[in-house]
Structure 1
Amino acid sequence: MTDELLVVRAQLGERAALNELVTLWQVPVWTYVRRMLDAERADDVSQEVWLAVFRGLHRLREPGRFAPWLFTIARRSVTDRLRGEYAREAEEHAAGETVAGDPGEAVVNRAGLIGALSGLPLLEREVLVLYYLEDLPVEDCAQICGVPAGTVKSRLNRARRLLRAHLEEKGYRA
Protein backbone atom coordinates (compact mmCIF):
# COMPACT_ATOMS: atom_id res chain seq x y z
CA MET A 1 0.00 0.00 0.00
CA THR A 2 1.34 3.45 -0.87
CA ASP A 3 2.11 6.17 1.63
CA GLU A 4 -0.44 8.39 -0.07
CA LEU A 5 -3.27 5.91 0.50
CA LEU A 6 -2.19 5.28 4.08
CA VAL A 7 -2.10 9.02 4.77
CA VAL A 8 -5.59 9.53 3.35
CA ARG A 9 -6.94 6.61 5.38
CA ALA A 10 -5.21 7.94 8.51
CA GLN A 11 -6.63 11.42 7.88
CA LEU A 12 -10.06 9.82 7.76
CA GLY A 13 -9.46 8.40 11.23
CA GLU A 14 -8.39 4.85 10.48
CA ARG A 15 -6.00 3.85 13.26
CA ALA A 16 -4.66 0.81 11.41
CA ALA A 17 -3.43 3.06 8.59
CA LEU A 18 -1.74 5.38 11.08
CA ASN A 19 -0.09 2.40 12.77
CA GLU A 20 1.14 1.14 9.40
CA LEU A 21 2.62 4.56 8.58
CA VAL A 22 4.47 4.55 11.88
CA THR A 23 5.68 1.00 11.29
CA LEU A 24 6.97 1.90 7.81
CA TRP A 25 8.65 5.17 8.77
CA GLN A 26 9.74 4.74 12.42
CA VAL A 27 13.18 3.30 11.62
CA PRO A 28 14.03 5.77 8.81
CA VAL A 29 13.03 8.71 11.04
CA TRP A 30 15.01 7.42 14.01
CA THR A 31 18.00 6.69 11.75
CA TYR A 32 17.94 10.21 10.33
CA VAL A 33 17.66 11.78 13.79
CA ARG A 34 20.37 9.45 15.16
CA ARG A 35 22.76 10.53 12.45
CA MET A 36 22.20 14.13 13.45
CA LEU A 37 22.31 13.59 17.25
CA ASP A 38 23.53 10.98 19.75
CA ALA A 39 21.41 7.90 20.55
CA GLU A 40 19.90 9.21 23.80
CA ARG A 41 18.70 12.46 22.25
CA ALA A 42 17.59 10.62 19.09
CA ASP A 43 15.03 8.62 21.07
CA ASP A 44 13.54 11.76 22.60
CA VAL A 45 13.53 13.74 19.36
CA SER A 46 12.01 10.83 17.42
CA GLN A 47 9.13 10.76 19.88
CA GLU A 48 8.69 14.51 19.40
CA VAL A 49 8.61 13.97 15.63
CA TRP A 50 5.85 11.38 15.85
CA LEU A 51 3.86 13.54 18.24
CA ALA A 52 4.05 16.40 15.71
CA VAL A 53 3.00 14.00 12.93
CA PHE A 54 -0.04 12.84 14.92
CA ARG A 55 -1.03 16.41 15.65
CA GLY A 56 -0.49 17.71 12.13
CA LEU A 57 -1.39 14.86 9.80
CA HIS A 58 -4.90 16.19 9.23
CA ARG A 59 -3.37 19.41 7.84
CA LEU A 60 -1.22 17.65 5.22
CA ARG A 61 -2.76 18.80 1.93
CA GLU A 62 -0.70 16.63 -0.42
CA PRO A 63 -0.71 13.07 0.95
CA GLY A 64 1.71 11.99 -1.80
CA ARG A 65 4.34 14.30 -0.27
CA PHE A 66 4.29 12.52 3.10
CA ALA A 67 8.03 11.63 3.16
CA PRO A 68 9.33 15.19 2.59
CA TRP A 69 6.76 16.51 5.08
CA LEU A 70 7.86 13.91 7.65
CA PHE A 71 11.56 14.67 7.23
CA THR A 72 10.86 18.40 7.41
CA ILE A 73 9.30 17.80 10.82
CA ALA A 74 12.29 15.66 11.82
CA ARG A 75 14.73 18.35 10.67
CA ARG A 76 12.86 21.04 12.56
CA SER A 77 12.81 18.88 15.70
CA VAL A 78 16.57 18.27 15.50
CA THR A 79 17.20 21.98 14.93
CA ASP A 80 14.96 22.97 17.84
CA ARG A 81 16.73 20.51 20.16
CA LEU A 82 20.18 21.77 19.17
CA ARG A 83 19.12 25.40 19.42
CA GLY A 84 17.74 24.82 22.92
CA GLU A 85 20.88 23.03 24.06
CA TYR A 86 23.15 25.74 22.66
CA ALA A 87 21.09 28.41 24.41
CA ARG A 88 21.28 26.51 27.73
CA GLU A 89 25.03 26.05 27.39
CA ALA A 90 25.48 29.73 26.63
CA GLU A 91 23.42 30.68 29.69
CA GLU A 92 25.42 28.32 31.92
CA HIS A 93 28.68 29.60 30.51
CA ALA A 94 27.60 33.22 30.96
CA ALA A 95 26.60 32.43 34.54
CA GLY A 96 30.15 31.26 35.21
CA GLU A 97 29.36 27.57 35.40
CA THR A 98 31.67 25.17 33.67
CA VAL A 99 29.97 23.08 31.07
CA ALA A 100 31.30 19.56 31.25
CA GLY A 101 31.04 17.36 28.22
CA ASP A 102 30.10 13.72 28.39
CA PRO A 103 33.37 11.95 29.22
CA GLY A 104 32.06 8.65 27.85
CA GLU A 105 31.30 10.29 24.52
CA ALA A 106 34.85 11.63 24.32
CA VAL A 107 36.28 8.15 24.92
CA VAL A 108 34.11 6.41 22.37
CA ASN A 109 35.96 6.09 19.11
CA ARG A 110 33.30 6.11 16.39
CA ALA A 111 34.51 3.96 13.56
CA GLY A 112 34.45 4.55 9.83
CA LEU A 113 31.68 6.45 8.19
CA ILE A 114 29.71 7.31 11.32
CA GLY A 115 32.78 9.01 12.79
CA ALA A 116 33.47 10.81 9.56
CA LEU A 117 29.85 11.95 9.28
CA SER A 118 29.85 13.35 12.78
CA GLY A 119 32.92 15.41 11.87
CA LEU A 120 31.12 17.19 9.05
CA PRO A 121 29.42 20.55 9.54
CA LEU A 122 25.70 20.17 10.32
CA LEU A 123 24.41 21.48 6.96
CA GLU A 124 26.63 19.18 4.93
CA ARG A 125 25.95 16.18 7.18
CA GLU A 126 22.23 16.80 6.86
CA VAL A 127 22.16 16.72 3.04
CA LEU A 128 24.41 13.64 2.95
CA VAL A 129 22.10 11.79 5.32
CA LEU A 130 18.95 12.81 3.46
CA TYR A 131 20.31 12.16 -0.03
CA TYR A 132 22.46 9.06 0.40
CA LEU A 133 21.19 7.36 3.52
CA GLU A 134 17.48 8.19 3.27
CA ASP A 135 17.50 7.97 -0.57
CA LEU A 136 15.56 11.19 -1.06
CA PRO A 137 15.85 13.08 -4.36
CA VAL A 138 17.54 16.48 -4.47
CA GLU A 139 14.17 18.25 -4.79
CA ASP A 140 12.84 16.62 -1.61
CA CYS A 141 16.09 17.43 0.23
CA ALA A 142 15.71 21.04 -0.90
CA GLN A 143 12.13 21.19 0.38
CA ILE A 144 13.09 19.64 3.73
CA CYS A 145 16.04 21.98 4.20
CA GLY A 146 14.15 25.02 2.92
CA VAL A 147 16.78 25.88 0.31
CA PRO A 148 16.94 25.78 -3.51
CA ALA A 149 17.95 22.52 -5.22
CA GLY A 150 21.19 24.17 -6.37
CA THR A 151 22.15 24.82 -2.75
CA VAL A 152 21.55 21.16 -1.92
CA LYS A 153 23.80 20.16 -4.83
CA SER A 154 26.58 22.49 -3.72
CA ARG A 155 26.29 21.24 -0.11
CA LEU A 156 26.46 17.65 -1.38
CA ASN A 157 29.57 18.50 -3.37
CA ARG A 158 31.22 20.17 -0.40
CA ALA A 159 30.17 17.34 1.92
CA ARG A 160 31.66 14.71 -0.40
CA ARG A 161 34.94 16.63 -0.56
CA LEU A 162 35.07 17.05 3.23
CA LEU A 163 34.17 13.41 3.81
CA ARG A 164 36.79 12.23 1.32
CA ALA A 165 39.47 14.41 2.95
CA HIS A 166 38.51 13.20 6.41
CA LEU A 167 38.62 9.53 5.38
CA GLU A 168 41.95 9.96 3.58
CA GLU A 169 43.32 11.63 6.69
CA LYS A 170 42.32 8.51 8.64
CA GLY A 171 44.19 6.30 6.19
CA TYR A 172 41.37 5.23 3.88
CA ARG A 173 42.10 5.47 0.17
CA ALA A 174 39.58 5.87 -2.66
Structure 2
Amino acid sequence: MTDELLVVRAQLGDRTALAEMVARWRVPVWRYVQRMLDADRADDVSQEIWLAVVRGLPRLREPTRFAPWLFAIARRSVVDRLRTEYAAAPETPVRDDRCVEDLSETVVARAELVGALTSLPVLEREILVLHYLEDLSVQDCAHICRVPVGTVKSRLNRARRLLREHLSEKGYQS
Protein backbone atom coordinates (compact mmCIF):
# COMPACT_ATOMS: atom_id res chain seq x y z
CA MET A 1 0.00 0.00 0.00
CA THR A 2 1.40 3.43 -0.94
CA ASP A 3 1.93 6.27 1.51
CA GLU A 4 -0.65 8.30 -0.37
CA LEU A 5 -3.32 5.65 0.11
CA LEU A 6 -2.39 5.23 3.78
CA VAL A 7 -2.68 8.99 4.33
CA VAL A 8 -6.09 9.18 2.68
CA ARG A 9 -7.35 6.19 4.65
CA ALA A 10 -5.96 7.62 7.89
CA GLN A 11 -7.61 10.97 7.14
CA LEU A 12 -10.90 9.10 6.79
CA GLY A 13 -10.42 7.62 10.27
CA ASP A 14 -8.90 4.21 9.45
CA ARG A 15 -6.78 3.41 12.52
CA THR A 16 -5.06 0.45 10.89
CA ALA A 17 -3.84 2.72 8.08
CA LEU A 18 -2.46 5.14 10.67
CA ALA A 19 -0.78 2.28 12.53
CA GLU A 20 0.77 1.00 9.31
CA MET A 21 1.98 4.49 8.42
CA VAL A 22 3.60 4.88 11.85
CA ALA A 23 5.18 1.43 11.58
CA ARG A 24 6.58 2.30 8.15
CA TRP A 25 8.00 5.70 9.09
CA ARG A 26 8.83 5.29 12.81
CA VAL A 27 12.43 4.14 12.29
CA PRO A 28 13.38 6.69 9.59
CA VAL A 29 12.00 9.53 11.71
CA TRP A 30 13.76 8.28 14.85
CA ARG A 31 17.03 7.86 12.90
CA TYR A 32 16.79 11.43 11.61
CA VAL A 33 16.13 12.80 15.10
CA GLN A 34 18.89 10.67 16.63
CA ARG A 35 21.38 11.95 14.07
CA MET A 36 20.40 15.54 14.75
CA LEU A 37 20.31 15.20 18.54
CA ASP A 38 21.27 11.91 20.22
CA ALA A 39 19.63 8.60 21.13
CA ASP A 40 18.57 9.77 24.61
CA ARG A 41 16.54 12.69 23.31
CA ALA A 42 15.38 10.97 20.10
CA ASP A 43 12.64 8.98 21.83
CA ASP A 44 10.99 12.03 23.38
CA VAL A 45 11.22 14.16 20.26
CA SER A 46 9.95 11.29 18.08
CA GLN A 47 6.86 10.99 20.26
CA GLU A 48 6.27 14.72 19.92
CA ILE A 49 6.58 14.37 16.15
CA TRP A 50 4.02 11.57 15.94
CA LEU A 51 1.60 13.54 18.10
CA ALA A 52 1.96 16.47 15.70
CA VAL A 53 1.45 14.14 12.73
CA VAL A 54 -1.76 12.70 14.18
CA ARG A 55 -3.06 16.19 14.96
CA GLY A 56 -2.06 17.64 11.58
CA LEU A 57 -2.91 14.73 9.30
CA PRO A 58 -6.51 15.87 8.67
CA ARG A 59 -5.13 19.17 7.30
CA LEU A 60 -2.58 17.58 4.93
CA ARG A 61 -3.83 18.63 1.49
CA GLU A 62 -1.30 16.75 -0.66
CA PRO A 63 -1.07 13.11 0.45
CA THR A 64 1.61 12.53 -2.22
CA ARG A 65 3.90 14.90 -0.26
CA PHE A 66 3.64 12.95 2.99
CA ALA A 67 7.40 12.26 3.43
CA PRO A 68 8.50 15.91 3.05
CA TRP A 69 5.62 17.01 5.27
CA LEU A 70 6.62 14.44 7.91
CA PHE A 71 10.28 15.48 7.85
CA ALA A 72 9.29 19.15 8.01
CA ILE A 73 7.44 18.37 11.25
CA ALA A 74 10.47 16.41 12.47
CA ARG A 75 12.78 19.29 11.62
CA ARG A 76 10.58 21.79 13.47
CA SER A 77 10.53 19.52 16.52
CA VAL A 78 14.33 19.14 16.48
CA VAL A 79 14.84 22.89 16.06
CA ASP A 80 12.40 23.62 18.88
CA ARG A 81 14.23 21.19 21.17
CA LEU A 82 17.64 22.66 20.27
CA ARG A 83 16.36 26.20 20.76
CA THR A 84 14.96 25.30 24.19
CA GLU A 85 18.17 23.56 25.24
CA TYR A 86 20.42 26.35 23.98
CA ALA A 87 18.36 28.91 25.85
CA ALA A 88 18.66 26.92 29.08
CA ALA A 89 22.28 25.79 28.57
CA PRO A 90 24.90 26.83 31.11
CA GLU A 91 27.58 29.20 29.85
CA THR A 92 30.42 26.75 30.47
CA PRO A 93 30.58 23.76 28.12
CA VAL A 94 29.93 20.38 29.69
CA ARG A 95 32.47 17.70 28.84
CA ASP A 96 31.30 14.14 28.29
CA ASP A 97 33.98 11.70 29.45
CA ARG A 98 32.11 8.52 28.63
CA CYS A 99 34.33 6.00 26.90
CA VAL A 100 33.45 2.89 24.94
CA GLU A 101 36.13 0.21 24.71
CA ASP A 102 35.37 -1.57 21.46
CA LEU A 103 38.49 -1.65 19.34
CA SER A 104 37.16 -3.21 16.16
CA GLU A 105 38.03 -1.13 13.10
CA THR A 106 34.44 -0.92 11.92
CA VAL A 107 33.18 0.51 15.18
CA VAL A 108 36.07 2.96 15.37
CA ALA A 109 35.51 4.12 11.79
CA ARG A 110 31.78 4.54 12.41
CA ALA A 111 32.47 6.46 15.60
CA GLU A 112 34.84 8.76 13.70
CA LEU A 113 32.19 9.37 11.06
CA VAL A 114 29.50 10.06 13.66
CA GLY A 115 31.92 12.34 15.50
CA ALA A 116 32.71 14.16 12.30
CA LEU A 117 29.01 14.48 11.52
CA THR A 118 28.21 15.89 14.97
CA SER A 119 31.08 18.36 14.65
CA LEU A 120 29.38 19.99 11.66
CA PRO A 121 27.24 23.09 12.16
CA VAL A 122 23.57 22.18 12.65
CA LEU A 123 22.38 23.50 9.27
CA GLU A 124 25.00 21.56 7.31
CA ARG A 125 24.52 18.40 9.41
CA GLU A 126 20.77 18.60 8.84
CA ILE A 127 21.14 18.78 5.06
CA LEU A 128 23.60 15.85 4.99
CA VAL A 129 21.29 13.73 7.14
CA LEU A 130 18.20 14.53 5.08
CA HIS A 131 19.84 14.15 1.68
CA TYR A 132 22.26 11.26 2.15
CA LEU A 133 21.01 9.34 5.15
CA GLU A 134 17.26 9.80 4.69
CA ASP A 135 17.62 9.72 0.89
CA LEU A 136 15.48 12.78 0.21
CA SER A 137 15.86 14.85 -2.94
CA VAL A 138 17.37 18.33 -2.97
CA GLN A 139 13.90 19.72 -3.69
CA ASP A 140 12.40 17.87 -0.71
CA CYS A 141 15.25 19.08 1.53
CA ALA A 142 14.53 22.66 0.37
CA HIS A 143 10.83 22.21 1.16
CA ILE A 144 11.55 20.74 4.60
CA CYS A 145 14.12 23.40 5.55
CA ARG A 146 12.11 26.22 3.96
CA VAL A 147 15.05 27.46 1.93
CA PRO A 148 15.69 27.76 -1.83
CA VAL A 149 17.16 24.79 -3.71
CA GLY A 150 20.36 26.78 -4.28
CA THR A 151 20.79 27.16 -0.52
CA VAL A 152 20.44 23.41 -0.06
CA LYS A 153 23.08 22.82 -2.73
CA SER A 154 25.49 25.30 -1.16
CA ARG A 155 24.95 23.79 2.31
CA LEU A 156 25.56 20.32 0.88
CA ASN A 157 28.75 21.54 -0.73
CA ARG A 158 29.94 23.22 2.46
CA ALA A 159 28.97 20.20 4.58
CA ARG A 160 30.87 17.79 2.32
CA ARG A 161 33.93 20.07 2.42
CA LEU A 162 33.83 20.39 6.22
CA LEU A 163 33.32 16.64 6.63
CA ARG A 164 36.21 15.91 4.26
CA GLU A 165 38.47 18.34 6.15
CA HIS A 166 37.55 16.86 9.50
CA LEU A 167 38.15 13.29 8.35
CA SER A 168 41.46 14.17 6.66
CA GLU A 169 42.63 15.75 9.94
CA LYS A 170 41.90 12.40 11.57
CA GLY A 171 44.03 10.60 8.99
CA TYR A 172 41.37 9.37 6.60
CA GLN A 173 42.04 9.84 2.92
CA SER A 174 39.44 10.74 0.32
TM-score, with structure 2 as normaliser: 0.90
* Structure 2 residue aligned with 1:145: 145
Please report how far the alpha carbon of residue 112 of structure 1 lies from its aligned counterpart in structure 2 after TM superposition. Answer: 2.5
Query: Alignment partner of 1:147: what SS?
Result: coil
In the alignment, the residues of structure 1 paired with residue 131 and residue 31 of structure 2 have an alpha-carbon distance, to the nearest angstrom, of: 13
Please report how far the alpha carbon of residue 34 of structure 1 lies from its aligned counterpart in structure 2 after TM superposition. Answer: 0.3
In the alignment, the residues of structure 1 paired with residue 164 and residue 12 of structure 2 have an alpha-carbon distance, to the nearest angstrom, of: 47
In the alignment, the residues of structure 2 paired with residue 139 and residue 24 of structure 1 have an alpha-carbon distance, to the nearest angstrom, of: 22
* Structure 2 residue aligned with 1:78: 78
* Structure 2 residue aligned with 1:5: 5
Q: Structure 2 matches for 1:1-174, cutoff 5 A?
A: 1-89=1-89, 93=91, 101=94, 103-104=96-97, 107=99, 111-174=111-174
Q: What's the CA shift string for 1:20-41, capped at 9, x where partnerless? A: 1001100000000000001111
Q: What's the CA shift string for 1:87-129, capped at 9, x where partnerless? A: 112xx55xxxxx6726345x46871211110010000000000
Identity of counterpart residues, as a percentage? 72
In the alignment, the residues of structure 1 paired with residue 136 and residue 117 of structure 2 have an alpha-carbon distance, to the nearest angstrom, of: 18
Total equivalences in the alignment: 166
Query: Alignment partner of 1:31: what SS?
Result: helix
In the alignment, the residues of structure 2 paired with residue 113 and residue 143 of structure 1 have an alpha-carbon distance, to the nearest angstrom, of: 27
Query: Alignment partner of 1:101: what SS?
Result: coil
CA RMSD of aligned residues (A): 1.6
Q: Give the AA of the match of 2:48.
A: E
Query: Alignment partner of 2:117: what SS?
Result: helix
In the alignment, the residues of structure 1 paired with residue 97 and residue 47 of structure 2 have an alpha-carbon distance, to the nearest angstrom, of: 24
In the alignment, the residues of structure 2 paired with residue 100 and residue 156 of structure 1 have an alpha-carbon distance, to the nearest angstrom, of: 28
Unpaired segments ≥5 residues, structure 2: 101-107
Q: Give the AA of the match of 2:86.
A: Y
Structure 1 segments of 4+ aligned residues over 3 angstroms from their partners: 102-105, 107-110
Q: What's the CA shift string for 1:65-107, capped at 9, x where partnerless? A: 0000000000000000010111112xx55xxxxx6726345x4
TM-score, with structure 1 as normaliser: 0.90
